[in-house]
Amino acid sequence: MCGIVGYTGNKQAQPIVLESLKKLEYRGYDSSGIATREEKLVICKKEGPIANMESVLPKSDSTLAIAHTRWATHGVPSDVNAHPHSNSENTIAVVHNGTIDNYLDIKENLESEGYKFKSNSDSEVLPALITKHYSGNLVEALNKSLEVIQGIFTIAVIHEDHPDEIVAVRNETPLVIGVGNSENYLASDIYAILKYTQQIIYPLDNQIIRLTSKSIEVFDDSLNKVDYEIEEVEKYTEVSEKGGFEHFMLKEIFEQPKALQDSLTELLIDSPLEKLGLNWKIGSISVVACGTSFHAGLVGKYVIEQLTAIPVSVSYSSEFRYAAPVQGVGGLLSSRPLVVLISQSGETADTLAAARVARQQGCHTIAICNVPGSRITREVDGVILTKSGQEIGVAATKTFLTQMQALYALGIHLGFTSGSIDYPQLKMWESEIRKLPSKLTQVLNNSESIKALAAQFVKSKSVFFVGRNINYPLALEGALKLKEISYIHAEGYPAGELKHGPLALLSEDTPVVAIAVQDHTYSKLISNIEEMSARKTPVITIAQKGDELAKKVSDFCFEIPEIDPVLSPFPIAVFMQLLSYYVAHELGTEIDKPRNLAKSVTVE
């Protein structure tokens, strides 16, 4: 989604913001732009990849710049709707992430005062409002404009009269300030500026920041100066290479054994629950997330309920926010509800909103997140940080596996502390989890057979994925992966549900991917496969090694290594990811940046 970067310092600003902007490309965008200050402000913006804008970018010696990648919400992707937006005199340039909910009213008022707008973007009201309130002080002008605006936003502004100054603010969307030596940075994503500095300030909502090359001032909404903390963040290993893989997604799929390994230390050390503040009796757990993270949450429900006596519900973040209060809130503090928010990016607006609701309701909150310092990690009571490394491909892969691993670890430790499992069982589970990287490697070593299988899917208009019990969420995830990167319609279903409707859609052209592991649902699943085969539907089954029956009833059977069915979602996820990848590859889609999608979804 939209990205913002800014620089004020003693070097040429344009190459710095351009490089930082390119680090945000992975988030998804449709146009980009840069504003610098020469004698006057110079704005260059273009629809399409950053390279389009770069090809027409005039040379600049400016030491001040703001830049933006846009992901359209109001107004189609176009040069004119791209940011930065300016006022009619071209003295102000503004970049904005988020949405201005009341922009139509503001626009109407300003138009009645004679202001002429150039674009269809909600963001263009910002330079207009700031101009209206400007009388020499940009901080004051922005503050007055904020009184009128409703919505969520990160805003950065520069003005022709202030050759060294960027003024910025955020409300519910990300903004970080990077502190340098005679130079300062801002960005909507820490990855954009970590190459330049690890000294980071995380402003609070509605604080206004004035950055110059030599100073940083933070103001509250009454414009009193307030203190701020500078945090030193971990040095970051830049991910810019595909390491010999054709796409980041494929590289990230192959990185999964390492991602699980690296996350283990965080998860399986002694007393992780105390670290999370969970030293009390948990009455119930609500898991809240979106998309792939939601699917990890569904797997987590099965695991936690199996290992503990704690009931778990799983909600989409966008629904949780408007649902009835979590049960048990206001009850005895000795048995409190716990809300687990899962977000690989830590910036998903729906999940952040849900976190706030949960806290307002008095729930204890923990986040499972892959980005240190991200917004969600700062808004919850405890954090499980997965260590997948940066994920560039828009489709979540390695972060999904480490999220599941985190939930298994949580389940095991809750099971042990609540007395549902004993110490030898705790150790047995930990040891099984430690074996997962090698199980994944076995699936990865078999990727050629999945590639060969992919050819069967490319002509399909629709594909069904079915599973039962703990692998029903994997059917959902298989369908999500396929549709987002290959654009083939796909649906995930509990295998037992097909006969209640969707069976009507099955035909020779509608393959089904069925997950048949040998748990207590196995025989029913085999019957479901037979029902589908009877409709001449090609059935591709994922089964455990040596399962002759599954081979017999299916058109093709992919064997996962021997594994406890409870842990089978891990190798199965790898199969699903590779299948989608190879189908999309055959179809020639933009795998790392699928159309209309963004890596970090910062609007609700």
Residues marked as catalytic? 2, 599
Stretch of 89-97, 190-198, 288-296, 330-338 contacting ligand F6R, by CB under 6 A: 288-296
Lookup: tokens for 351? 């999940």
Nearest CB to ligand F6R, comparing residues 208 and 259: 259
- Whose Cβ is closer to ligand F6R: residue 37's or residue 247's? 247
Of the listed pieces 207-215, 287-295, 356-364, 382-390, which binds ligand F6R according to CB under 6 A?
A: 287-295
Residue 24 CB, shortest distance to ligand F6R, in Å, is 15
Q: For residue 346, what are the β-bridge partners?
A: none
Closest contact distance (angstroms) between CB of 602 and ligand F6R is 10
Candidates 2-10, 49-57, 338-346, 423-431; binding stretch for ligand F6R (CB under 6 A) = 338-346
To the nearest whole angstrom, how small is the minimum distance from the Cβ of residue 401 to ligand F6R?
Answer: 12
Residue with tokens 């949780």: 320
Cβ proximity to ligand F6R: between 130 and 296 the closer is 296
- DSSP readout, 165-234? -EEEEEEBS--EEEE-SS-EEEESSGGGTTTT--EEE-PPTT-EEEE-SS-EEEE-TT--B-----EEPP
Asked whether position 290 contacts ligand F6R by CB under 6 A, the answer is: yes
Smallest separation, CB 281 to ligand F6R (Å): 29
| Count of residues interacting with ligand F6R (CB under 6 A) | 14
Strands 208-211 and 184-187: unpaired
- Distance, in Å, from the CA atom of 132 to the CA atom of 127, rounded to the nearest integer, reads 9
592 touches ligand F6R by CB under 6 A? no
Considering the rule CB under 6 A, would residue 395 count as an interface residue with ligand F6R?
yes
Between residues 392 and 516, which has the closer beta carbon with respect to ligand F6R?
Answer: 392
Compute the least distance from the CB of residue 126 to ligand F6R, in Å. Answer: 27
CA–CA gap between residue 315 and residue 92 (Å, rounded):
43
> Smallest gap, in angstroms, from Cβ of residue 594 to ligand F6R?
9
SS3 of the chain: helix, strand, coil, percent, to 5: 40, 25, 40
User: How many Cβ atoms sit within 10 Å of the Cβ of residue 503?
Assistant: 17
Q: Is 28 an interacting residue with respect to ligand F6R (CB under 6 A)? A: no
What does the alpha-carbon distance between residue 308 and residue 567 come to, in Å, rounded to a whole number?
16
Measured distance CA(513)–CA(506) in Å, rounded: 12
In 3D space, the residue among 347, 323, 341 whose CA is nearest the CA of residue 287 turns out to be 341
Spatial neighbors of 137 by CB under 8 A, at least 6 apart, are none
Antiparallel, parallel or unpaired: β 199-201 and 41-47: unpaired
Nearer to ligand F6R, 284 or 348 (CB): 348
Distance between CA atoms of residues 330 and 337, nearest Å: 9
Stretch that binds ligand F6R, among 27-35, 46-54, 97-105, 342-350 (CB under 6 A): 342-350
Q: Least distance to ligand F6R from the beta carbon of 316, Å?
A: 10
388 near ligand F6R, judged by CB under 6 A: no
User: With binding defined as CB under 6 A, does residue 453 bind ligand F6R?
Assistant: no
CA dist 176 and 289 (Å) reads: 24
The single residue among 307, 396, 490, 532 that binds ligand F6R, judged by CB under 6 A, is 396
Nearest partner of 70 among 37, 18, 21, 118, judged by Cα: 21
Instruction: Pick the stretch among 20-28, 168-176, 340-348, 414-422 that binds ligand F6R (CB under 6 A).
Output: 340-348
Say if CB 531 and CB 502 are below 8 A apart.
no
Q: Which one of 289-297, 426-434, 564-572, 583-591 is the stretch in contact with ligand F6R (CB under 6 A)?
A: 289-297
Measured from the CB atom, the residue of 47 and 347 that comes closer to ligand F6R is 347
Choose between 443 and 603: whose C-beta lies nearer to ligand F6R: 603
| Cα distance between residue 81 and residue 452, in whole Å | 44
Q: Which of 3, 33, 98, 291 binds ligand F6R (CB under 6 A)?
A: 291
From 210-218, 339-347, 545-553, 583-591, give the range in contact with ligand F6R by CB under 6 A: 339-347
Among 32, 78, 197, 343, binds ligand F6R (CB under 6 A): 343
Q: Pick the stretch among 251-259, 337-345, 420-428, 441-449 that binds ligand F6R (CB under 6 A).
A: 337-345
- Tell me the closest approach of the beta carbon of residue 581 to ligand F6R, in angstroms: 12
Among 351, 386, 544, 554, the residue binding ligand F6R under the rule CB under 6 A is 351
Which one of residues 78, 188, 286, 292 is an interface residue with ligand F6R (CB under 6 A)?
292
- Closest to 471 (Cα-Cα) out of 566, 358, 578: 566
Task: Name residue, tokens 């059977």.
Answer: 557
d(CA 51, CA 274): 49
Which residue of 344, 377, 521, 577 would you call a contact of ligand F6R, by CB under 6 A? Answer: 344
Output the six-digit token pair for 483: 């549709």
CA neighbor of 408 nearest in space, from 275, 516, 305: 305
CB of 159 to ligand F6R, least distance (A): 34
Closest separation between CB of residue 371 and ligand F6R, Å? 8
Strand partners, 151: 100
Q: Indicate the burial class of 564 (C-beta count within 10 angstroms; 0-12, 13-18, 19 or more).
A: middle
- Of 294, 437, 289, 398, the C-alpha closest to 349 is 289
| Phi, psi angle pair for 110, to nearest 5° | -70, -35
- 3-class secondary structure, 328: coil
Q: Within positions 116 to 175, which residues make up the interface with ligand F6R, using CB under 6 A? A: none
Compute the distance between CA of residue 11 and CA of residue 17 in angstroms, rounded to an integer. Answer: 11
Per-residue binder mask for ligand F6R (CB under 6 A), 480-499, x = binder: x---x---------------
Q: Distance between CA 471 and CA 432 in Å, rounded?
A: 18
Question: Cβ closer to ligand F6R: 78 or 374?
Answer: 374
CB nearer to ligand F6R: give 125 or 396: 396
Nearer to ligand F6R, 351 or 447 (CB): 351
**Residue 183 within binding range of ligand F6R, rule CB under 6 A:** no
Q: Is the peptide bond before 84 cis (omega within 30 degrees of 0)?
A: yes
The rounded distance, in Å, linking the Cα atoms of 485 and 590 is 7
Distance CA 392, CA 32 (A): 19
Contacts of 120 (CB under 8 A, 6+ apart): 74, 75, 76, 81
| Residue showing the smallest CB distance to ligand F6R in the complex | 291
**Binding site residues, ligand F6R, CB under 6 A:** 290-293, 343-345, 348, 351, 395-396, 480, 484, 601
